[in-house]
Structure 1
């Protein structure tokens, strides 16, 4: 049985660390804004096992003019569960949550290899690629809600 529910920031670390910060200390999985009241974290479970996570922050990006913006961050699915629709379920959950919050726009910094995944979900690239030190090439992606 698969289900998604809201979790605490620290609970995301068991998936963020091996997927987004391999070889780095677990404290590198704490992101600015993780514990703000306007931030939400979601975990996708198969039975009792946390296999995917995503976080959403109320945050504006200067490339966009809409007032109610939300940023997706820390999207991660354990390797053995990737390419099975888990990530899509997490994104749909976040989109629903943002609609409930009266959000107008979702944006995030997508790793280059994740761009096709997000494009299939109707997200668009804005601007040129950029580098995040020790992580790699990224693109700002967005979708109006």
Structure 2
């Protein structure tokens, strides 16, 4: 069973840490403006299994730190969580949703309708590309 709901920022940190940056300490995964974002948690079989954080400036929304626990990857949970984020943004009358996608995940985002921009960069040991979706 899958359930997605808004969660407090601090609930995202352990999953961000475990999935994205286990080589760093927990403080590394905290976003400076976490308190200003909307955070979504995906519960799979009643366990918090996936998270994503959404921030906006006017009609432009950005999602950050999408992460699914390793043991649940490949089950379509990331897609379900992103579909919920896209729906949330549409309800907010957003015009655009974008992210800094890890280069190795760009095909995942393309399947959701995101398009690659020409902006690529290297940060924290990873190649990133900015991808966006017109809503």
Q: TM-score, normalised by structure 2?
A: 0.95
Give the corresponding residue for 2:39: 41
Give the number of aligned pairs: 135
Counterpart CA distance in 1 for 2:71 and 2:15 is 12
Give the corresponding residue for 1:27: 27
Give the corresponding residue for 2:79: 88
Counterpart CA distance in 2 for 1:55 and 1:135 is 21
Counterpart CA distance in 2 for 1:35 and 1:135 is 26
Counterpart CA distance in 2 for 1:46 and 1:22 is 22
1:135 pairs with 2:125: yes
RMSD: 1.1
Cα deviations by residue, 1:114-136 (Å, 9 ceiling, x for unpaired): 1010011111011142111x231
Q: Tell me how far 1:54 sits from its aligned partner.
A: 0.6
Q: TM-score, normalised by structure 1?
A: 0.89
Q: Tell me how far 1:47 sits from its aligned partner.
A: 2.6
Classify the secondary structure of the residue corresponding to 1:131: strand
Counterpart CA distance in 2 for 1:29 and 1:10 is 10
Counterpart CA distance in 1 for 2:119 and 2:13 is 30
Query: Gapped runs of 5+ residues in structure 1?
Result: 60-66
1:110 pairs with 2:108: no
Counterpart CA distance in 2 for 1:25 and 1:95 is 30
Counterpart CA distance in 2 for 1:127 and 1:81 is 32
